[in-house]
C-alpha cells in the first residue's frame, strides 16, 4: 500500500517547504496538508488540504481515517518567544497536540511519525561549543521544556509500545518562502527581508550572539532523510542533533553587506529574546546523525546568503 502522509502545520515555516518536497517525492494526492489557518487558493489547488486543530483528538482521528493516513509530520508548535508570553498555552499546545498523535500511533492507526525538537531543549549549563548529543539538558524556556519533555515521551512510546517516532533538534531555520513567527532565531530571516528592501535592520539580538542555524533545503533533507531511513538505523529515539553552520548577527551582516553594499544592521532593538538565545548552544556536534543514518548538509553559510538574496529579490 502506498504511503499516505499528513503534514500538520503545513502553512508554517517548515510545513510550506516540506509539503512541496513531499509532494514531489510521493505525488500530490498522497500528501495531505493541514493547518489551523486556511491556505491561499493557489496552495489549495496543489493537493488535498484539511483545516484541522491538532488539539482536537476526535477531529484528528477523523482526518486520519478519512484519508487512510500512514505517516504524520507533526510541525505544530508555539515557538520560544511567544511561549514565554503565554506559558500555559504554549505548554498545552506543544504537549496535547503531541499526545493526540502518539496515542494514534500506539493504537496502530498510523505507522510512523516525525516530531521535531530544537536546540532550545538545551540550557544555560549545557556546553556551548560543539554541544554533544548526550549532555546536560536544562532548558530555561517554556518552549525548551516542552521540547525536552516531548523528546522523552517519544522515546518512552518507542521503548514501551514500539512506536516508530523520529525527531531532530533543529537549529534556527532560514528560509524565503514563509517567514517564521514567534521564534528567537527569526532575526536571521527578518534581516534578509530588510536587506532586499534597501532598509536598515534593527536587530533584537546583540551583535555577538552566536547561534547554530541551517538553511531550509538542508532542514527538509534531514527531515525526509530521517523518516526514510531504515528503522534500525534510527537508534536515538529522543531526537538527533543536526548541524550546519553557526554565526553571529555581526557576521551575517558582513556577509549580506558584501552582496548588498550600504546595508546596515543596528543593535538598538535588543530585547528579551537575547536572553533566551544566551541560554542556547553556539555550535552543535551531530556525529551520531551522520554515523547512524548518513546525514550531511549541502549549504555553506556563504551559499545560503547568496541563495536567500537571489530568491527574495
Half-sphere exposure (Cβ direction) of 30: Cα atoms closer than 13 Å: 13
CB nearer ligand SER, residue 6 or residue 205: 205
Is 239 a binding residue for ligand SER by CB under 6 A? The answer is no
Nearest to 287 by CA among 236, 238, 237: 236
Helices 57-67/87-106 angle, 10° precision:
40
Residue 80 binding ligand SER, by CB under 6 A: yes
| Nearest of 79, 75, 72 to residue 103 by alpha carbon | 72
Burial (CB count <10 Å: 0-12, 13-18, 19+), residue 145: buried
Task: Determine which residue in the list 185, 223, 265, 282 makes contact with ligand SER, applying CB under 6 A.
Answer: 185
Is residue 223 within the footprint of ligand SER (CB under 6 A)? no
187 classed as catalytic: no
**143-172 positions binding ligand SER, by CB under 6 A:** 143, 170, 172
Stretch that binds ligand SER, among 15-23, 106-114, 181-189, 262-270 (CB under 6 A): 181-189
Residue indicated by cell numbers 514500539: 162
Minimum CB separation of residue 143 from ligand SER in Å reads 6
The count of C-alpha atoms lying within 13 angstroms of the C-alpha of 307, restricted to the half-sphere facing its C-beta, is: 16
Q: Which is nearer to ligand SER, 19 or 78 (CB)?
A: 78
Contact call for residue 131 and ligand SER (CB under 6 A): no
Q: Is 14 or 305 the residue whose CB approaches ligand SER more closely?
A: 14
Alpha-carbon gap, residue 1 to 67, rounded angstroms = 13
120 binds ligand SER (CB under 6 A): yes
| 139 vs 123: CA distance, rounded Å | 4
The closest alpha carbon to 133, from 215, 242, 276, 296, belongs to 242
State how far the Cα of 71 lies from the Cα of 53, in Å rounded to an integer.
18
Among all residues, whose Cβ is closest to ligand SER?
183
Q: Which stretch binds ligand SER (CB under 6 A): 182-190, 198-206, 230-238, 284-292?
A: 182-190
CB of residue 49 to ligand SER, shortest distance in Å: 25
CB of 139 to ligand SER, least distance (A): 11
CA distances from 27 to 4, 21, 32, 51, 223 (A): 10, 10, 10, 20, 18
Closest distance between ligand SER and the C-beta of residue 307, in Å?
19
Tell me the C-alpha distance between 281 and 117, whole Å.
14
Placement of cell 549545557 in the chain: 126
Nearer to ligand SER by Cβ, of 12 and 47: the residue is: 12
In the chain, the N- to C-terminal Cα span, in Å, equals: 43
CA neighbours closer than 13 Å in the CB half-sphere of residue 217: 11
Min separation Cβ 94 and ligand SER, Å:
11
**Residue of 26, 73, 134, 143 marked active site:** 143
Nearer to ligand SER by C-beta: 118 or 175?
A: 118
> 7 or 142, CB closer to ligand SER?
142
Contact between 282 and ligand SER (CB under 6 A)? no
- Contacts with ligand SER, residue ranges (CB under 6 A): 79-80, 118-120, 143, 170, 172, 183-185
Give catalytic residues, as residue numbers.
143
Amino acid at each position: 500500500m502506498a504511503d499516505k502522509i499528513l503534514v500538520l502545520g503545513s502553512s508554517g515555516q517548515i510545513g510550506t517547504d516540506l509539503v512541496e518536497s513531499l509532494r514531489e517525492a510521493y505525488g500530490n494526492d498522497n500528501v495531505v496538508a493541514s493547518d489551523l489557518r486556511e491556505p491561499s487558493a493557489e496552495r489549495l489547488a496543489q493537493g488535498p488540504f484539511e483545516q484541522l486543530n491538532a488539539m482536537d483528538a476526535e477531529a484528528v482521528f477523523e482526518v486520519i481515517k478519512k484519508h487512510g493516513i500512514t505517516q504524520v509530520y507533526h510541525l505544530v508548535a508555539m515557538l520560544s518567544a511567544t511561549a514565554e508570553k503565554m506559558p500555559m498555552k504554549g505548554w498545552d499546545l506543544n504537549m496535547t497536540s503531541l499526545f493526540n498523535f502518539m496515542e494514534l500511533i500506539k493504537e496502530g492507526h498510523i505507522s510512523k511519525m516525525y516530531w521535531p525538537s530544537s536546540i532550545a531543549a538545551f540550557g544555560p549549563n549545557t556546553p556551548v561549543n560543539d554541544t554533544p548529543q548526550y549532555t546536560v539538558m536544562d532548558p530555561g524556556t517554556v518552549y525548551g521544556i516542552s521540547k525536552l519533555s516531548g523528546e522523552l515521551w517519544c522515546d518512552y512510546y518507542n521503548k514501551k509500545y514500539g512506536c516508530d517516532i523520529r525527531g531532530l533538534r533543529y537549529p534556527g531555520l532560514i528560509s524565503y518562502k514563509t517567514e517564521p513567527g514567534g521564534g528567537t532565531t527569526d532575526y536571521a530571516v527578518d534581516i534578509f527581508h530588510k536587506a532586499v528592501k534597501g532598509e536598515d535592520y534593527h536587530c533584537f539580538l546583540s551583535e555577538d550572539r552566536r547561534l547554530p542555524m541551517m538553511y531550509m533545503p538542508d532542514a527538509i533533507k534531514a527531515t525526509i532523510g530521517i523518516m526514510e531511513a531504515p528503522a534500525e538505523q534510527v537508534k536515538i529515539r529522543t531526537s538527533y542533533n543536526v548541524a550546519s553552520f553557526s554565526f553571529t548577527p555581526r557576521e551575517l551582516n558582513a556577509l549580506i553587506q558584501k552582496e548588498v553594499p550600504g546595508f546596515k544592521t543596528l543593535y538598538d532593538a535588543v530585547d528579551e529574546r537575547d536572553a533566551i538565545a544566551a541560554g542556547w548552544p553556539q555550535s552543535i556536534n551531530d556525529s551520531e546523525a551522520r554515523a547512524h543514518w548518513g546525514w550531511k548538509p549541502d549549504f555553506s553559510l556563504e551559499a545560503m546568503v547568496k541563495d536567500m538574496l537571489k530568491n527574495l529579490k
